[in-house]
Amino acid sequence: MEQRKEGTSIINVRDLNLFYGEKQALFGVDLAILEKEVTALIGPSGCGKSTFLRTLNRMNDLIDGVKITGDIVIDHEDIYKTNDVIKLRTKVGMVFQKPNLFPMSIYDNVAYGPRMQGIKNKKELNKIVEESLRSAAIWDEVQDRLKTSALGLSGGQQQRVCIARAIAMKPDIILMDEPTSALDPISTLKIEELITNMKKDYTIVIVTHNMQQAARVSDKTAFFLNGEVVEYDDTDNIFSTPQDQRTEDYVTGRFG
Ligand SMILES: Nc1ncnc2c1ncn2[C@@H]1O[C@H](COP(=O)(O)OP(=O)(O)OP(=O)(O)O)[C@@H](O)[C@H]1O
* pLDDT tens, residue by residue, 132-158: 999 999 999 999 999 999 999 999 999
Contact predicate 37/199, CB 8 Å = yes
Residues with a CB atom less than 6 Å from ligand 1:
20, 23, 25, 43, 45-51, 63
Q: Specify the pTM.
A: 0.94
Write the CB contacts of 198 (distance below 8 Å, at least 6 apart in sequence).
135, 163, 174, 204
Ligand 1 atom showing the smallest separation from residue 53 Cα: 18
Task: Decide: residue 140, CB within 10 A, 0-12 exposed, 13-18 middle, 19+ buried.
Answer: exposed
Q: Using alpha carbons, list the distances in angstroms from residue 203 to 92, 116, 159, 167, 198.
A: 9, 24, 18, 12, 8
Q: Are 158 and 101 in contact (CB under 8 A)?
A: yes
For ligand 1, the distance from its centroid to the CA atom of residue 150, given in whole angstroms, is 30
pLDDT grade, residue 4 (50/70/90)?
very low
How much is the ipTM here? Answer: 0.96
Q: Which of the four pLDDT bands, split at 50, 70 and 90, describes residue 253?
A: confident
List b or e across 90-112, with b for residues whose CB sees 16 or more CB atoms inside 10 angstroms: bbbbbbbbebebeeebbbbbbbb
CATH of domain 9-251: 3.40.50.300
Q: Measuring from atom 24 of ligand 1, which residue has the nearest CA?
A: 45
How many CB atoms neighbour CB 130 within 10 A? 16
Residue 90 Rama label (left phi>0; alpha psi -120 to 50; beta): alpha
Using the mean position of ligand 1's atoms as its centre, give its distance from the Cα of residue 233 in Å.
24
Span 162-192, pLDDT tens digits: 999 999 999 999 999 999 998 999 999 999 9
Helix (H) or strand (E) holding 39: strand 38-42
Q: Give the model's pLDDT for residue 3.
A: 45
The CB-side HSE value for 36 (13 A sphere, CA atoms) comes to: 8
| CA of 169 relative to ligand 1 center, distance in Å | 28
The residues, ordered by sequence, that sit 6+ positions from 107 with a Cβ below 8 Å of its Cβ are 129, 146, 147
Question: Which residue's CA is the nearest one to ligand 1's atom 7?
Answer: 20
- Ligand 1 center from residue 253 Cα (angstroms): 21
Per-domain residue ranges for the chain? 9-251
